[in-house]
């Protein structure tokens, strides 16, 4: 009886694993086929009797199973559905990475500030692209990542300066040429899964310019920013 129960549990875990791998393949192909986004397979999780480990072999990996697996990952990225399908057929556990600086750049902020900015932009009727929700990493809480038209990263410091925010004042990170975002349904170690707060749809196919959304995003981040050390003295 115990052997039967053990086999049933193993079968259940195997079925769940196959289901997740199928979702990764389907999602990767959809990003390439429907959105024409370039996709690259990243590292993956190794799961056995212990906690999940990153395929890179670093036991202290800060993004286990969710970072580039090769040095030439940017060159290999492709928006060809057939190529993408082959990659995930060969390695169905690979994380899904979307290079930034090509089809889009990304603005990455704390979840609380991101939700505040999202609500404000929706009230203002601003055009919004997809928004990614990321689990928190070491020393960081959960994040929201706004997709904007490419070319935004070099302009962000000047945009923020014009709004009165000096370098380092806001917890706001730009991702542009040479960077990447982790796409759902990739799992990031024991931290959780990348998810869409606003899924890619036909309604948000056209991305906004960073200049169109930076004001409410910076305002929301400013509300959550710690006061300078000399404030109130």
CB 210 within 8 A of CB 152: yes
pLDDT score at 225: 66
Which H or E run contains 105? strand 105-110
pLDDT score at 13: 45
What are the start-end ranges of the H helices in 35-94? 73-76, 81-90
Q: How far apart (Å, rounded) are the C-alpha atoms in residues 191 and 53? A: 12
Burial bucket for residue 9 (CB in 10 Å: 0-12, 13-18, 19+): exposed
Ramachandran assignment for 164, one of left (phi > 0), alpha (psi -120 to 50 degrees), beta (any other): left
Supply φ then ψ for residue 16, to 5 degrees: -65, -40
Angstrom CA distances, 147 to 37, 63, 94, 167, stand at: 12, 21, 23, 21
Q: How far apart (Å, rounded) are the C-alpha atoms in residues 90 and 233? A: 61
- pLDDT by residue (tens digit) across 13-35? 444 456 677 999 999 999 999 99
**Tokens 């930034």, residue located:** 100
Q: Which two tokens stand for residue 133?
A: 């929700």
- pLDDT by residue (tens digit) across 78-128? 999 999 999 999 999 999 999 999 999 999 999 999 999 999 999 999 989
- pLDDT by residue (tens digit) across 41-80? 999 999 877 788 999 999 999 899 999 999 999 999 999 9
Q: How far apart (Å, rounded) are the C-alpha atoms in residues 93 and 97? A: 13
Identify the band that residue 226 occupies on the pLDDT scale cut at 50, 70 and 90: low
pLDDT score at 138: 61
**pTM for the complete prediction?**
0.87
How close are the terminal C-alpha atoms of the chain, in Å? 72
Share of the chain above pLDDT 90, in %: 76
> For residue 156, is pLDDT > 80?
yes
pLDDT score at 17: 52
């Amino acid at each position: 009886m115990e052997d039967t129960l053990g086999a049933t549990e193993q079968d259940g875990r195997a079925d769940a694993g196959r289901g997740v791998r199928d979702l990764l393949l389907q999602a990767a192909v959809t990003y390439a086929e429907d959105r024409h986004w370039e996709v690259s397979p990243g590292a993956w999780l190794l799961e056995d009797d212990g906690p999940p480990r990153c395929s890179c072999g670093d036991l202290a990996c800060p993004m286990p199973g969710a970072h580039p697996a090769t040095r030439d990952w940017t060159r290999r990225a492709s928006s060809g559905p057939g190529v993408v399908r082959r990659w995930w057929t060969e390695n169905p556990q690979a994380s899904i990475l979307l290079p930034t600086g090509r089809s889009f750049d990304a603005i990455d902020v704390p979840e609380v500030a991101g939700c505040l900015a999202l609500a404000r932009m929706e009230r203002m009727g601003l055009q919004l692209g997809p928004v990614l929700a990321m689990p928190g990493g070491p020393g960081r809480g959960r994040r929201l990542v706004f997709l904007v038209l490419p070319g935004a990263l070099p302009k962000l410091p000047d945009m923020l300066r014009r709004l009165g925010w000096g370098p380092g004042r806001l917890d706001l990170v730009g991702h542009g040429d040479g960077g990447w975002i982790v796409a759902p349904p990739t799992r990031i170690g024991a931290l959780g899964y990348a998810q869409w707060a606003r899924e890619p749809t036909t309604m948000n196919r056209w991305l906004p310019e960073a200049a169109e959304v930076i004001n409410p995003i910076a305002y929301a981040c400013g509300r959550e920013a710690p006061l300078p050390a000399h404030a109130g003295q």
